[in-house]
Amino acid sequence: MPRIACLASALLLAATLQSAADEMPWDFARLMAEFAQVQTSRAKYSEIRHVAALREPIALSGTLYYSRPAHIEKRQILPFREVIQVDREQLTVEREGKTRTISLAGAPQLAALIESLRATLAGDRAELERIYDVRLEGSRERWSLRLIPRDAEIASLIDSISFAGSGSRVSKVRILEPGGDSSVMTIQHES
């Protein structure tokens, strides 16, 4: 008898806790915490870039791979094959058999751009807030994150970066530039 009573109370407690969790207010900290749980993720992406000098937008597609805490791989298939890998401070671009390495420490604008994605995926709140002014809207199921660069030199190239997603999955990345150019990436998760 006492054993059944214990079990029952335990189940009741668990159920209460679960519903309580569902009802706790969801915020930026919790979003970041959820992202921090993700070890790896793989996705397909398709990107549309609007460039002022071009008549029509550029369409790109390929796969994205992320591994905690700082490894990102972007394998582009269309319109030409290119593999970009980022590991902490090093960026490697491989195209037509040739590899080029860039040290991000010496390229602050590029670093800021990449950091926006990496810090979000890693749930690195401190880093994200250091470079960008962060605004979060929506709920856990449908949220959107708007990043505005703090540094003037980076702001001269990027107006804002917006992430949209659900839970710990990013579904859309939009980069807006001062000249009117923009880039929108749509992401389809595989795992």
Partner 1 sequence: MKSYPRASLLVWVALVAASLWWVARQAVFTTELTAVLPASGSRAQQFLLEHLRSGGASRTLLLAVEGGEPGELARASRELARALAADSRFDYVTNGSAEYNRAARERVVRYRYLLSPGVSPAQFSEESLRRALRENLEQLASISGLVFKTMLARDPTGELRRIGEASIRDAPASRNGVWFSPDGARALLLAQTAASGMDAVQQQDALDALESAFAGIKAGPGVRLLASGPGAFAARTRAAIRHDSRWLTGLAGALVVLILIFVYRSPATVALSALPVLTGLVTGVAAVSLVFGSVHGLTLAFGATLIGEAVDYPSYVFAQRRQGESVLEVLARIWPTLRLAALTTVFGSLALLLSSLQGLSQLGVLSMVGVLVAGLTTRWVLPALAPATPPPRELPFSLVRAGLAMRRAAWLVWLLLAAAIAFIAVRHDRVWDDDLGHLSPLPSSARELEGRLRADLRAPDVRYLITAGATSREAALERSEIVALALEEGVRNGLLEGFDLAARYLPSEQTQKRRQAALPDPGTLARSLARARQGLPYRENAFEPFLRDVETTRRGPLLSLEALRGTGLDLKVMSLLASRGGEWQALIPLRDVRDPAGLRELVQRMPAEAHANFLDLKAESDSLVGGYRAQALRLAGVGALAIALLLYAGLRDLRGAFRVMLPVYAAIAMTAALLLASGAGLTLFHLVSLLLVLGVGLNYALFFNRAELGTESERETSLALSVCFLTTVAAFGCLATSRIPILSAIGLTVSIGCALSLLNAMVLGRAGGRGRSAN
- C-alpha to C-alpha distance for 30 and 123, rounded to whole angstroms: 9
102 in Cβ contact with 108 (< 8 Å): no
- C-alpha to C-alpha distance for 186 and 164, rounded to whole angstroms: 10
Site residues for partner 1, 111-140, by CB under 8 A, read 113-114
- C-alpha to C-alpha distance for 21 and 104, rounded to whole angstroms: 40
Q: Which of 2, 80, 98, 139 binds partner 1 (CB under 8 A)?
A: 80
Told to check if 184 binds partner 1 by CB under 8 A, we report: no
- Please name the residue that has the structure tokens 């993720």: 41
Q: Which of 36, 38, 43, 110 binds partner 1 (CB under 8 A)?
A: 110
- For residues 36 to 75, the per-residue mask of contacts with partner 1, x marking binding by CB under 8 A and - elsewhere, is -------------x-xxxxxx-x-x-------------x-
Told to check if 82 binds partner 1 by CB under 8 A, we report: yes
Site residues for partner 1, 140-159, by CB under 8 A, read 153, 157-158
- C-alpha to C-alpha distance for 143 and 59, rounded to whole angstroms: 26
- Please name the residue that has the structure tokens 């058999």: 97
Residue 123: how many other CB atoms lie within 10 Å: 20
- C-alpha to C-alpha distance for 129 and 124, rounded to whole angstroms: 9
Told to check if 92 binds partner 1 by CB under 8 A, we report: no
Number of residues in contact with partner 1 under rule CB under 8 A: 35
Q: Which residues bind partner 1 (CB under 8 A)?
A: 49, 51-56, 58, 60, 74, 76, 79-80, 82, 84, 91, 93, 95, 102-103, 105-110, 113-114, 153, 157-158, 175, 177, 179, 181
